[in-house]
Amino acid sequence: MARPPPIPLDILISILSHLPPERTRSDLSAKTIGRFATCSRLFRDAASNSTLWIPHYEERFIYCDADKEEERLEVFQSDYCKMYGARKRLEVRALELVRRLMTERKTRHQSVQELTELSEDVWDVLELETQCPLPPSFEHRTNWKDKHGVVPPNPLTWKYWSIKALAVISRHIGIREISQVNSREDHSEEGSEEEEMDKEEMDEDFLRWSRAQCSLSTFFSIHPSEVRDMFLSVRPALT
């Protein structure tokens, strides 16, 4: 019996494009594409298509360190498949650090230091881990959904340290934002002139003030962008 002709590459990519992007602990769509890539060379070529990964990347990774993201775009030449893999490796490291916070008291300072270096690049995974499901003995089974993923070992302890890790990063962001705002204000005072502020200067002043306010929100483990959007909603001209 003759072998059927291979499926064209563009058809395979089109099939994979129907997998819905998601921002969940389970990452079912991304894992499905990853398993698809192990079937053959043709399937690997389809699964590694950069365009295919763009919606998955944008849905899964809401937050990032802007400078590091720009560097990733340059290093990987805007290949979103490789960028997705790079971000996932950072998240694996972040979860390992959470595990170390749980189990290795002597290395907690070192783990905290490394988490601050990973910064916003691992905010998404930590936020998702704070939503990990509890066993049925802790909550009603109907609250569990596939997107929540598997129940981790020692779930209450895991949730606690995931929240603590998120708080460490949020405080680091807050301190960084406040120091940057203060630096800009000092610079503007040195070069200011005795004249009325125009609209552009007023808008910049408002943005500087709102960034300072947003940074305060991080001490409650809320990402500054959430509060920034609230501020900008009252100033439509700045959006």
Domain coordinates in residue numbering, the chain: 14-186+203-238
CA geometry: angle 190, 193, 194, nearest 5 deg: 135
pLDDT tens per residue across span 22-49? 999 888 999 999 999 998 899 999 999 9
Between 197 and 93, name the one with better pLDDT: 93
pLDDT tens per residue across span 161-175? 999 998 888 888 877
Q: What local confidence, expressed as pLDDT, does residue 218 receive?
A: 60
Cα 160 to Cα 19: distance, rounded to the nearest angstrom: 32
Which is nearest to 213 in space by CA: 18, 50, 222? Answer: 222
CB 148 within 8 A of CB 128: no
Local confidence band at 238 (pLDDT 50, 70, 90 cut-offs): very low
Residue 101 has pLDDT above 60, yes or no: yes
The tokens of 101 are what? Answer: 């916070």
Q: What local confidence, expressed as pLDDT, does residue 145 receive?
A: 58
Local confidence band at 106 (pLDDT 50, 70, 90 cut-offs): very high
What are the residues whose beta carbons fall under 8 Å from the beta carbon of 217, sequence distance 6 or more? 174, 223, 224, 226, 227
